[in-house]
Amino acid sequence: MPLSWLPALRVLFLVAAVTAVLQATILNGWVQRTFFDRWIAFGERVTQSPSIRRFPDPRLARIFPLFMAVAFLALWWYLGTAAGVAWAGAHLGR
C-alpha cells in the first residue's frame, strides 16, 4: 500500500530546512532580537537570575539552525529513497 502522505512529509522537511538556513543566515539578527532576546529577558526577570542561554559570541547562535538544516535535508533525502519509504511504511504507516 503506497503511503499517500509521504510526499507531504518530505515537503515539510524541505521547507523546514530552507527556513533553518534562512534563520541561520539572513534572518539571524531579526529572529534573535524578536524572539530569543525577549524570551531570555523575560526568563531572567521571572527567575531573578542570569540566563545560561546567553552566547559569548552571537555568531554561535547560528550553529544550531545550520545543524538542523542538515538534519532536515538528510531526512528529506532518506524518505525519498527506497529504504526510507520501506521504513516509513513499516513504522509510520497505518
* Residue 71 maps to a domain: yes
Write down the pLDDT at residue 1: 46
Angle, helices 82-91 vs 6-24, to 10°: value is 110
* Residue 1 maps to a domain: no
Angle at 16 between CA 12 and CA 51, to 5 degrees: 140
In angstroms, the CA 38 to CA 4 distance is 41
In angstroms, the CA 43 to CA 89 distance is 42
Domain total of the chain: 1
Residue 53 CB contacts under 8 Å (≥ 6 apart), including other chains: 36, 40, 43
Write down the pLDDT at residue 20: 93
* Residue 3 maps to a domain: no
* Residue 73 maps to a domain: yes
Domain that holds residue 72: 11-91
* Residue 2 maps to a domain: no
* Residue 4 maps to a domain: no
* Residue 33 maps to a domain: yes
pLDDT, tens digit only, all 94 positions of the chain: 467 888 999 999 999 999 999 988 888 888 878 888 888 888 888 988 877 666 667 677 788 889 999 999 999 999 999 999 999 888 887 6
